[in-house]
Amino acid sequence: MSPKNIPVSVDWRDFFLNFAVSFSMAIGLFVPLTAIGRWLTALFKIDTTTFKGNLPYRLMATLISSCIFYFSISPTLMTMNFFLSDSSNWKMTSSHWLLDMPFLFLVSYLSTLVSDVPAYQSAHRLDPDF
C-alpha cells in the first residue's frame, strides 16, 4: 500500500489537548523569564552576575520560572482534561487537581533544577550576553 492510499484519521481530542499544552507553553516566548528571575533574586540581595556555580541564584530563578510555567500549564490541562475526557463532575476534577498540585509542582521544580545548567550553557553559547 502506498502512502497515498493510507486513510487518514485524526483523533481530535488528542489534537486539541496537545494544542492546549503547546499554547500554554508559549508563555515562555512572551514572558521574560530571565529578567523576572534576576528581579526576584535581586529582591533577596543575591548576586546575579553568574548563574553557574551560584546555587541561591539557581534556586530562586528556577522557582519563579517554574511557578510561571506551572500555574499557566496546569490549569489549562485540568480544564482541557475535564472537557475532553468523559468526566462530568467539575468539582471532582478540580479537587483532584488541587490535591495533586503540590506534588506536581515539586516534580516540575526539581526536574527544571536538574536541567537548568545545561540549558544555561546552551543559551550562553548562542548568546554570550545571556
What pLDDT was estimated at residue 115? 80
Helices (H), the chain: 12-25, 27-30, 33-43, 55-84, 90-126
pLDDT in tens, 83-123: 776 666 788 778 878 888 888 888 888 887 888 778 777 87
Please, which pLDDT band fits residue 68 given cuts at 50, 70 and 90? confident
pLDDT in tens, 3-50: 566 666 777 777 777 777 776 666 666 667 777 888 888 888 888 777
Nearest to 29 by CA among 87, 83, 74, 68: 68
Q: What is the reported pTM?
A: 0.62
Judge whether 16 and 84 are in contact, CB under 8 Å.
Answer: yes
Judge whether 77 and 50 are in contact, CB under 8 Å.
Answer: no
Q: Which three cell numbers stand for residue 7?
A: 486513510
How far is 103 from 105, CA to CA, in rounded Å? 5
What pLDDT was estimated at residue 61? 83
